[in-house]
Amino acid sequence: MEVVLWRLLPLLSLLASFLFFLYLHHPSKQVSHNECSLLFFNHFWIISKRIVTPQGLISGAVEVKGGNIISIVMEEEWHRNSKRGHVIDYGEAVVMPGLIDVHVHLDDPGRAEWEGFPSGTKAAAAGGITTLIDMPLNSDPSTVSPDTLKLKIAAAEKRIYVDVGFWGGLVPENAFNASALEALLSAGVLGLKSFMCPSGINDFPMTNTSHIKEGLSVLAKYRRPLLVHAEIQEDSDSNLQVENGRDEARSYLTYLKSRPPLWEEAAIRELLTVAKDTRIGGLAEGAHLHIVHLSDASSSLDLIKKAKSSGDSITVETCPHYLAFSAEEIQDGDTRFKCAPPIRDATNKEKLWEALMEGHIDMLSSDHSPTIPELKLLNDGNFLRAWGGISSLQFVLPVTWSYGRKYGVTLEQLALWWSERPAKLAGQDSKGAIAIGNHADIFVWQPDVEFDLNADHPIHLKHPSISAYLGKRLSGKVLATFVRGNLVYEEGKHAPAACGTPILAT
Ligand SMILES: NC(=O)NC(NC(N)=O)C(=O)[O-]
Ligand SMILES: [Zn+2]
Ligand SMILES: [Zn+2]
């Protein structure tokens, strides 16, 4: 009897391992007691033939444990490797560092009906974005003090599916008050943001260069950036046309002429008078200036290039909508395309691509700035009165890729523009690259898979109808998104619980 038992033992243990395997892979077990992730494991390997690392594209495996990347091995080494754990093999699909979107308006708290943290961060996860930095305006109140930052953090609690940081507002009320700015920075905003023209939001008034100079001198101590909406309202013919008839107001050209490139150029010219303070040995050494959503690829860009070569600490972003669309294609009355600065002509678009490819534009951001469809005035089509802002968050990756292919955009460039440089701007040393020790913020996608962005497509944004990309055919399907090792999105499904981390600067 005893002998029989001994003989059966290997068989029994085989059966036990098989049952354990079934238990782990049973569909109902995919969602464990850990509701933050669609994956049961805390220690696992991601394998792919195409992993984008700072050293280039490799075929190999990324080991994730406790939310971090703990090792990266090449394919040859992997085959020699005997220590294995749970393995997810993505084959030819591309594994990249999660995108970091430094310019997002989620409008929460106070205007969550415009977007809000839950839908905004679900859309981000579905688009491969693992971290976003929320703008200080369009929420109510604006984030301009420690108390208003507290409201943001409270609103984000258990409602964010990806990591979220916050920019604070530099406004006339706090700009000349160094201790107020220090309190805001000490409370954890990653940097400040200001407008050189009216922002469209009453509790976020515009700043002039004196305010900005003061802001930079405080930011210098914290080594954090100032982001600037660089347009200065100059007189233009079409300012006078606001009261014109319905047809003029529906015409895209009327709107385009109301915000000429001169507005951007004038703002940047003024900005550069204080940007020199950021040079080594300057009054605000340690601070950094970042120009958001550049649209003008002519004189404005020339000024920025000159400032960079003079040693100013300055960077610039543009957005997918300036790279995808041109004024010529925008139909009159189609206010989905209204944003500031405006989308300019096709020649300008070509020059933006050229500047991006040549490295004069440092990074990309969505400037996702939605509202309720009623305020987009989609029926009326009045470009002068509609809310300005493009709705795009979930689609920035396929848009950059689809429209960039003819310019020869590479996967490494995508990682540079959408991960590495944004991480640096936001001071996130543990993010922005697939590297040992970093957070396991990773997404997996199939660049060649095309899809029609129509009503059948799962859109997680609160108001899909206002998206400028609706009706487009795009290339690049996101399969899976990991935030700090949690599988937060896979094939149309999100993790049950919202476990993103609010990021506060220390
Ligand atoms: N209040 C806004 O969200 N404005 C935004 N609007 C745009 N870009 O049209 C922006 O970033 O300037
Ligand atoms: Zn702006
Ligand atoms: Zn914005």
Query: Rounded to whole angstroms, how far apart are CA atoms 119 and 123?
Result: 6
228 CA distance to ligand 2 centroid (A)? Answer: 8
The finding on whether 388 has its CB within 6 A of some atom of ligand 1 is: yes
452 CA distance to ligand 1 centroid (A)? Answer: 27
137 CA distance to ligand 1 centroid (A)? Answer: 9
Task: Encode burial over 380-396: b for 16+ CB neighbours within 10 A, e otherwise.
Answer: ebbbbebbbbbbbbbbb
472 CA distance to ligand 1 centroid (A)? Answer: 23
Considering the entire predicted model, what is its pTM? 0.93
The DSSP code sequence of 494-505 is E-SS--PPEE--
Residue 131 identity (one-letter amino acid): T
| Helix, strand or coil, per DSSP, at residue 447 | strand
The finding on whether 362 has its CB within 6 A of some atom of ligand 1 is: no
ipTM: 0.98
Would you say 183 and 141 are in contact if contact means Cβ atoms under 8 Å apart? no
The finding on whether 321 has its CB within 6 A of some atom of ligand 1 is: no
Ligand 1 atom 3, closest CA: 369
Give the ligand with the smallest distance to the CA of 375: 1
13 CA distance to ligand 1 centroid (A)? Answer: 63
Of 354, 250, 259, 240, the C-alpha closest to 302 is 354
Q: Which atom of ligand 1 is nearest to the CA of 105?
A: 3
The finding on whether 107 has its CB within 6 A of some atom of ligand 1 is: no
474's enclosing H/E stretch is: strand 473-483
The DSSP code sequence of 139-168 is SSS-S-SHHHHHHHHHHHTTT-SSEEEEPE
What residues are paired with 37 via a beta bridge? Answer: none
Query: Rounded to whole angstroms, how far apart are CA atoms 340 and 152?
Result: 25
Helix runs in 296-344, H state only: 299-309, 320-324
Site to substitute for ligand 1 among 108, 199, 295, most atoms within 8 A of C-beta: 199
* Residue 218 half-sphere exposure toward CB, CA atoms < 13 A: 22
Please state, in angstroms and as integers, the Cα–Cα distance from residue 73 to each residue in 62, 99, 168, 482, following that order. Answer: 7, 22, 40, 19
307 CA distance to ligand 3 centroid (A)? Answer: 23
Domain limits, the chain: 98-432+448-476
What string of pLDDT tens digits covers the 506 residues of the chain? 455 555 655 555 555 554 444 444 444 344 345 999 999 999 999 999 999 999 999 999 999 999 999 999 999 999 887 777 899 999 999 999 999 999 999 999 999 999 999 999 999 999 999 999 999 999 999 999 999 999 999 999 999 999 999 999 999 999 999 999 999 999 999 999 999 999 999 999 999 999 999 999 999 999 999 999 999 999 765 555 555 688 899 999 999 999 999 999 999 999 999 999 999 999 999 999 999 999 999 999 999 999 999 999 999 999 999 999 999 999 999 999 999 999 999 999 999 999 999 999 999 999 999 999 999 999 999 999 999 999 999 999 999 999 999 999 999 999 999 999 999 999 999 999 999 999 999 999 999 999 999 988 999 999 999 999 999 999 999 999 999 999 999 999 999 999 999 999 99
Architecture of domain 98-432+448-476 in this structure: Alpha-Beta Barrel (3.20)
Give the ligand with the smallest distance to the CA of 388: 1
Strands (DSSP E) contained in 209-299 are 225-229, 288-291
